[in-house]
Structure 1
Amino acid sequence: MKPGMKLAILLGGAVVVWGLIAYVFFAGNSPAKKAPEVAKTALYASVDCPESVRIVAVSKPDSVFGRDYISDDEKMAIAMSMMKINEKVMSQTGDLSEIDLENSGLTSLVERQMSAMSAIRSFVWLGSDADKPRPFNGWKVKIEYEAKTANGSPYRSEYWFILDKEARCVVNSFEIPIL
């Protein structure tokens, strides 16, 4: 082997090793990879009984542009979910004529539905420039989970977390009850 070839092989190997180290370090710290963990931490901090949480599914981080947190398809899915909850509440309360305020499971569901609707209304963009492109603004992660209320009633929900560009913090969140 020629003397220059040993040096070339050693240098080439060193470049490959340092390249792999850099890739693992930077790719492992990418915001898209951090977003689900930040969202999980926020979930446990947001529920009444974090010890009762059982995570069912975590979405892949999705890009958020401007304040357009919810796509049209997601709006439709949320509307269908809210309609099912409304039907359940109406059937269990005789169209609200027989409300049992002692039923903690039902009152919790109604409170969570009202909170979700309030959050959704605040995200709906009705401006005249709604079709203009918006800059990348962060990430959204959805976590489907089961837990118990403070009164011990079990429930299922999907919590949406909107994170900043670097996935360091949650800038907005809301919960969608699931039947």
Structure 2
Amino acid sequence: MSENTTEDLIYMDVPAGRVVIRLRPDLAPKAAERIRTLAEQGFYDNVPFHRVISGFMAQGGDPTGTGMHGSDLPDLPAEFTSKAKFERGTIGMARTADPNSANSQFFIMFEPSPHLDGQYTIVGEVIEGMENVDKIKRGAGGSGMVNDPDRIARMRPAGAEG
């Protein structure tokens, strides 16, 4: 694990309260930089958790709420060569079937999901406030798409929360 340096911390405020994320540039330097850059720009503010599946994960990062879009920045190459595991609180980069299509969408694991290990980029982990992630409104059906979803109120790097 990387050390808790302030530059690796992101504060994400959701309806239930604050979530503290530690980015993992040691595992995924390009993805960690992307999340930090977009958070600095306020990109994630008011963005919904559009896909939330009980016992699996909460996905957000698409400002349209459809799960089909991202930022205007170019897609990222896959960064999943590490032996890191998808455990409760792990944050992964969402993508299409193309491993090199991650952009701005991310997901937070509610439970371990070994079938994702080595298949998706791990960009960080929740180090405080997982109980607030647990309260994010769930979706219906197998897709987990959420009607009237909970939104990220504000998401900023530590030191830029003013």
Query: Same-fold call, TM > 0.5?
Result: no
User: What TM-score, normalized to structure 1?
Assistant: 0.23
Q: Per chain length, whose mean CA-contact separation is higher, i.e. which structure has more relative contact order (CA < 8 Å, sep 6+)?
A: 2
User: What TM-score, normalized to structure 2?
Assistant: 0.24
* Structure richer in helix, relative to its length: 1
Larger radius of gyration: 1
